[in-house]
A = this chain, B = another copy of it.
Amino acid sequence: MTQELSNNWFLDKESDTKWILHRVRRHLAAFRTRYQAVELLDTYDCGLTLVLDGRVQSSQLDEHIYHEALVHPAMLAHPEPRRVLILGGGEGATLREVLKHPSVRQAVMVDLDRELVEFCKEHLKSWHQGAFEEPRAKLLYQDAFKYLRRPGPKFDVIISDISDPTEGGPAVMAYTREFFQEVRERLSPQGLFVTQATEALMSPHEVLSVIYRTVKSVFEVAECYVEYIPSFVCLWGWVVGSRMHRPSALSAQELSRRIAQRGLKLRFYSPQMQQRLFSLPPYLQGRLRRQRQVATAQEPARVYGGQR
């Protein structure tokens, strides 16, 4: 299918009352794995776009913003991350960013969905850029929660890049206290955990602050940060948890030093961006402060996902 489609639109429902229509140039793939529906679109505004279960997962336009923001604050806050665990992250771009840190001896990536990962290996080369082939990378096709609960080695950094906790979707458990407790067990004492944490909304239906509160209920330190991701058409959030390290505590000078020392080549992240990301708008600060809800296996948090 090499011809541009005539007048075809992907409808991304941010809510029942706010819809984004992306005009689609080409449909490159659509299939169902054992776990989820996968589409690869080429949109006019965002280029190649991976859609999982009807939601934009990442796009050629700005996947580097999302993935650098996910990986580097936690990785840089650790003085010398040697062993890193990635949960989810099928596109391979999280792995790509992790492996930029030369101290990393091994990066274990645990993704449930073999078919998705194999599709990404073949079709999203600009995402993974060969990271899967690195000897330091180890790829396991397992359920993240099961992997965490089995005895195993500790990690310096654990990065959760699992899709949103949509009602009825497979990812709901990955945003509960029980999950974060298992993560904590598998972190070395100096270790840091970071998870993508859904959209930052001004509305009361917002889930980011629940994830923040839940991480905070498990870890001594919890920090939230946000950035605008054009292909998501919204402000996106991440949450870090650790026993002792606080990414925002690093001065710009120290960050610069670590970036230089590690020889990181980054397109988006920088000490200046770190300042930007961790400076939360007051409406978010307020929510984080006031939120009391902790997500549990019994009462998980769930983002809007109706009517897709």
Contact = CB atoms under 8 A, between A and B. Distances in A.
> Chain A interface: which size bin?
35 or more
A54 to B, nearest CB: 3
Interface string A5-36: 11111111101111111111011011110000
Interface in A260-281: 267-268, 270, 272-273, 275-276, 279-281
A244 interface: no
B233 A228 contact: no
A182 interface: no
A30 B53 contact: no
Contact of A202 (B6, B43, B227, B230): B230
Contacts of A281: 65, 227, 268, 273, 276
Contacts of A267: 282
Interface of A: 1-13, 15-24, 26-27, 29-32, 37-39, 43-45, 51, 53-54, 61-62, 65, 201-203, 227-228, 230, 233-235, 267-268, 270, 272-273, 275-276, 279-283, 307-308
15 contacts: A3-B37, A4-B30, A5-B39, A7-B11, A15-B45, A17-B43, A20-B21, A26-B30, A233-B233, A268-B281, A272-B279, A273-B279, A273-B281, A276-B281, A307-B307
Given A7-B13, A27-B30, A276-B281, 5 more contacts: A3-B39, A6-B10, A6-B37, A26-B30, A275-B279
